[in-house]
Structure 1
Amino acid sequence: MSGSKKKSDSEKGSSSLADQMKNSMRFEEDDPRVLRLGSPVSTLRSRMSSSNTRSTSGSSASVSGRNVSSSTSSGSRKIKIVPAGNICPSGNVITGMRCKPERTVLNDNEMIPGMYGYGSIMPGGAMPKTRRASPESSGVASSSKNNPEELNTQANEIYKKGNFAEALSLYDKAIAISPGDGRFHCNRAAALMGLKRIIEAVKECEEAIRLSPTYVRAHQRLGSLLLCLGQVENAREHLFSLGQKPDQATLQKLQAVAEHISKCTDARRLEDWTTMLKEAEAATTSGADASPQLFACQAEAHLKLHQLKDAELWIYKARMYEPSATACQSKFFGMLSEAYVYFVQAQIDSTLGKFDDACTAIERAARIDLQSAEVTGKLKSMRLVGKARTLGNEHFNSKKYAQACTAYGEGLLLDSSNSVLYYNRANCWFKLGEWENSLADSNHALLIRPHYTKALFRKAASNIKLERWADAVRDYEILRQELPNNEEVAENLSHARVELKKSHREGDGKVELVSDLEKFRAAIASGASVVHFNELSNPECMWISSVMDTLSAKYRSVIFLKVDVKQSPAIATAEKITVVPTFKLYKNGSRKVDTVTATPGFLELLIKNTFIDPI
């Protein structure tokens, strides 16, 4: 009985406590502790409808660790008893209680470290201050910051305006977010094409195709790029892949490049270097304007035509391109494309006397394509040439000049375009007193390498030994320009000039016919000269020539020359001859008189007044 009473008292106490809490949690509509969700000041106004569904008539909440629930009856305006900060079914927020609710985050993008989420309810019923939107987090910029599709769209618009670098930056951001999307790689390739970064563009297209093998646009774009690189067959494969066909302009370009490369190949096989150069240039202008192989082809043709400066320029352009994976498998002139570039580089280095660099280049070509007979043959040849050069140098240093000549000759049998071996052998001939042979080898070296100063020096010295003073003066005049402070050059030039004057004074008074521009310049470079420009086929020329013969016999210290302007157009152009006959008087290479008068008396008067008295 007492137990029942105690239990009843307990229930009564508990009921009393519940009633007290109910009374404490009843609020009128105008109570200041109630925040209406529909109010303009509410930060959750836009979420009111969704918030209202979060509580039901059977909701329960925890207050100080105890569960309390209540329900409304008809006609009653009671509000459910819930902890402060919760959302009531009526859409109101209870404030005033000091219990700390759990942190509620409604939008991760609006979170601020150390603060409640946007729209969270703070303890004590206070609402958090909303963060002011920054320019970076508002509008399109905010939404596209982490959206690869929107970044791609923006990049496309910028690309259309020609801002390739800016577009590339946006494509990079899109790829960083979504690296597996082939479209972004293909679009990045387009931006790289605009920036002329062809090899990088090829790699991007290859990546796009790897990610999406049936991506038609990537195949078409890669085909166009490979055509620019001169890889016709690889380009054709991609342009016609997946049943597609290129547009008419691309198709015509493909056919033109293929035709010119075919003709270039035939010309190389026949060693027709002029035609090879012409067809390589045509292939480049037809569409393969970024082909390192065609650049190397032009370098090789220039080398064979003894145009070394042009060869160096084109091989430099060829070496600027890093080969792509596709390029490494393509062939050019029967060897792998990359190997061909090093093959040509080795030849140029050898011609320049850079034997170590030449060996390095040909060895690299062999590592790339050991199956090419041409590459392996050149590798073997260069090694043998190197041995012959080393042996020749040893004999020369031991003053065994005849044996050195033989060793250098063996090297030249293997490589007839080696200017250094010709120069070395010319030195041996000079030491042996074989001036003609020395001169011949010097000329061979200069033919291969026109600006080879050492070979020109040996040629000039050989001409002095052969007493060919006019040629010696010409050679030393060139050397004087290249080596202005060289005392030996200055002394030899002075000696050659003196001997040239002496030879004219002791001459037979005949007028010398000059047809070579360099010899003409050498002849007038020192002393007094009278030059008669005419057409020797002209009947009047015979009479004028007799006048020149008479004057040359009378004035032995003056050089008398004649030039046939038809046979020597280079001299006529250089001296600006427009009327014949024309007479010009020079002193030490400088023109003093220019006249078209042909009377003997007047011409002799000019000689007297301009030069010296007759002997």
Structure 2
Amino acid sequence: MKLGLVESAWKHLCFPGQRLDPVELQKFQLVEKHLSKCSDARKVNDWNGTLREAEASIAAGADYCPQLFMCRAEALLKLHQLEDSELSLSKIEMALGRFENAVAAAEKAGQIDPRNVEVAVLLNNVRLVARARTRGNDLFKSERFTEACSAYGEGLRLDPANSVLYCNRAACWFKLGSLERSIDDCNQALRIQPNYTKALLRRAASYSKLERWADAVRDYEVLRRELPDYNGVAESLFHAQVALKKSRGEEVYNMKFGGEVEEVLGFEQFRAATSLPCVSVVHFKSSSNVHCKQISPLVDTLCVRYPSINFLKVDMEEHPAIANAENVRIVPTFKIYKNGNRVKEIVCPSHDVLEHSYKDHQMPMT
């Protein structure tokens, strides 16, 4: 609730078997009410109302919510209250891990009103947190991981909702072999900043070290969607997928990372490849066809992106018998097979249609 995550807070309050605390329920209802009013006021450019409701939400318990501080800063700017606006901006920058910007905003607020006690306290706090982060980073670079943990912990005592410090400390725990602690800190970082890819990467790496393959695959799948061009994620996902299948006693067929699309040179090879238990995608093509030339690079990319799928290509001009047997008349045509059975056919697809078809027919890994 301190982060303004009302739905998550409500699920926690209503957890089965847990008695509902009347005080917590009242706080939740207050935060929910003021958040809603803040949103409504902002929509109609009622900046006094936005400011009032944002401050009420913060006072009611959502005092580590970056979005609320952003609304407050925006309202203050609109109302020309520059000093308070800079104060809010400093808190936002700190919450997002932009330490230098946070210090600069706090210093600017101090310049506007040098005698403001709240500004002085915030500036001191921001500087201390920034120093703790810098010291932790320096210690980490020197491979003094235990001391770096302490430095980041010092920063977290001053700013307990700082996702960057949690993520940095998670890296230290990982280096020290304290993988469960690393996962815990990554979880904290992701609660604060749900789309924090660095924390997700570190958690996935810890899961892999612990051979918690299903968890690792789940994280790497999210990362692959977030970072589709990051080859390291694709490779880590592949290895986690293979390990998960092996841990379940499943046989692994022809799975290799970064392989090329296999060229079919004869009927026996085609039958053997499409009869495997895994999913096979066959690209029927013609070397002289413009559309085939345009889509072939995408097929190569997808071959790397989806290592659990067996990719093949058949040149109809060189192997017309295979094309005739599979009743292919137009190129490019893609046919998807599983256990020797054709499950889908796509003729002259767009790039999006082709990739979505691959996604739909991936071997389930989790």
TM-score range (shorter-chain normalised) is: 0.5 to 0.7
Show the counterpart of 1:293: 51
1:590 equivalent among 360, 363, 366: 360
**Cα distance, 1:398 vs structure 2:** 1.0
Whether the 8 Å CA contact 1:395–1:403 is kept in 2: the answer is: yes
- The one-letter amino acid of 2:150's match is T
**Cα distance, 1:347 vs structure 2:** 1.3
Q: Distance in 1 between matches of 2:111 and 2:58?
A: 21
Give SS of 2:47's match: coil
2:218 equivalent among 460, 474, 480: 474
Q: Distance in 2 between matches of 1:489 and 1:288?
A: 43
Whether the 8 Å CA contact 1:526–1:588 is kept in 2: the answer is: no
**Against the structure 1 CA distance between its residues 362 and 433, is the aligned structure 2 distance closer, same or farther, given a 3 Å change threshold?**
same
Q: Distance in 1 between matches of 2:167 and 2:31?
A: 25
Whether the 8 Å CA contact 1:295–1:314 is kept in 2: the answer is: no
Larger radius of gyration: 1
Q: Distance in 2 between matches of 1:412 and 1:273?
A: 24
**Against the structure 1 CA distance between its residues 306 and 375, is the aligned structure 2 distance closer, same or farther, given a 3 Å change threshold?**
closer
Percent identity (aligned)? 43
After superposition, residues 313-332 of structure 1 pair within 5 angstroms as 314=71, 317-318=74-75, 321=78, 323=80
Q: Distance in 1 between matches of 2:125 and 2:116?
A: 14
Whether the 8 Å CA contact 1:296–1:341 is kept in 2: the answer is: no
**Cα distance, 1:388 vs structure 2:** 1.2
Give SS of 1:467's match: coil
**TM-score computed with the length of structure 2 as normaliser:** 0.54
**Cα distance, 1:354 vs structure 2:** 1.1
Show the counterpart of 1:347: 91
**Cα distance, 1:423 vs structure 2:** 1.0
Show the counterpart of 2:13: none
Matched, 1:361 2:131: no
Q: Any idea what the Cα deviations from partners look like across 1:471-501, whole Å, max 9, x if unmatched?
A: 1111111111222222211111001111122
Show the counterpart of 1:133: none
Q: Which has the higher contact order (CA 8 A, sep 6+)?
A: 2
**Cα distance, 1:273 vs structure 2:** 4.1
Matched, 1:280 2:24: no
Whether the 8 Å CA contact 1:473–1:496 is kept in 2: the answer is: yes
Show the counterpart of 1:446: 190
- The one-letter amino acid of 2:46's match is D
- The one-letter amino acid of 2:32's match is T
Q: Any idea what the Cα deviations from partners look like across 1:542-584, whole Å, max 9, x if unmatched?
A: xxxxxxxxxxxxxxxxxxxxxxxxxxxxxxxxxxxxxxxxxxx
Give SS of 2:233's match: helix
Q: Distance in 1 between matches of 2:65 and 2:79?
A: 26
- The one-letter amino acid of 1:398's match is S
**Against the structure 1 CA distance between its residues 295 and 403, is the aligned structure 2 distance closer, same or farther, given a 3 Å change threshold?**
same
Show the counterpart of 1:484: 228
Q: Any idea what the Cα deviations from partners look like across 1:440-474, whole Å, max 9, x if unmatched?
A: 11111111111211111111111111111111111
Show the counterpart of 2:239: 495
Give SS of 1:410's match: helix
Q: Distance in 2 between matches of 1:479 and 1:466?
A: 19
Q: Any idea what the Cα deviations from partners look like across 1:61-99, whole Å, max 9, x if unmatched?
A: xxxxxxxxxxxxxxxxxxxxxxxxxxxxxxxxxxxxxxx
Q: Any idea what the Cα deviations from partners look like across 1:136-188, whole Å, max 9, x if unmatched?
A: xxxxxxxxxxxxxxxxxxxxxxxxxxxxxxxxxxxxxxxxxxxxxxxxxxxxx
Q: Any idea what the Cα deviations from partners look like across 1:263-283, whole Å, max 9, x if unmatched?
A: xxxx9xx79643442343466
Whether the 8 Å CA contact 2:35–2:53 is kept in 1: the answer is: no
Whether the 8 Å CA contact 1:277–1:297 is kept in 2: the answer is: no
**Against the structure 1 CA distance between its residues 420 and 299, is the aligned structure 2 distance closer, same or farther, given a 3 Å change threshold?**
farther
After superposition, residues 370-381 of structure 1 pair within 5 angstroms as 370=114, 372-381=116-125
2:154 equivalent among 410, 421, 427: 410
Give SS of 2:78's match: coil
**Cα distance, 1:396 vs structure 2:** 0.9
**Cα distance, 1:298 vs structure 2:** 8.7
Q: Distance in 2 between matches of 1:378 and 1:459?
A: 32
**TM-score computed with the length of structure 1 as normaliser:** 0.34
**Cα distance, 1:591 vs structure 2:** 7.3
Q: Distance in 2 between matches of 1:312 and 1:414?
A: 18
Q: Distance in 2 between matches of 1:484 and 1:282?
A: 36
Whether the 8 Å CA contact 2:34–2:53 is kept in 1: the answer is: no
Q: Any idea what the Cα deviations from partners look like across 1:359-416, whole Å, max 9, x if unmatched?
A: 1222233344455544332222111112211211121111100000011101100000
Whether the 8 Å CA contact 1:527–1:588 is kept in 2: the answer is: no
Show the counterpart of 1:420: 164
**Against the structure 1 CA distance between its residues 284 and 440, is the aligned structure 2 distance closer, same or farther, given a 3 Å change threshold?**
same
Q: Distance in 2 between matches of 1:489 and 1:386?
A: 30
Cα RMSD for the two superposed structures: 3.9
Give SS of 1:399's match: coil
Whether the 8 Å CA contact 1:363–1:379 is kept in 2: the answer is: yes
Show the counterpart of 1:432: 176
Q: Distance in 2 between matches of 1:452 and 1:495?
A: 23
Whether the 8 Å CA contact 2:204–2:215 is kept in 1: the answer is: yes
Give SS of 1:505's match: coil
Q: Distance in 2 between matches of 1:487 and 1:284?
A: 42
Gaps in structure 2 of 5+ consecutive residues = 1-23, 251-305, 310-356
Gaps in structure 1 of 5+ consecutive residues = 1-266, 324-336, 507-524, 529-586, 593-609
**Against the structure 1 CA distance between its residues 375 and 456, is the aligned structure 2 distance closer, same or farther, given a 3 Å change threshold?**
same
Q: Any idea what the Cα deviations from partners look like across 1:87-115, whole Å, max 9, x if unmatched?
A: xxxxxxxxxxxxxxxxxxxxxxxxxxxxx
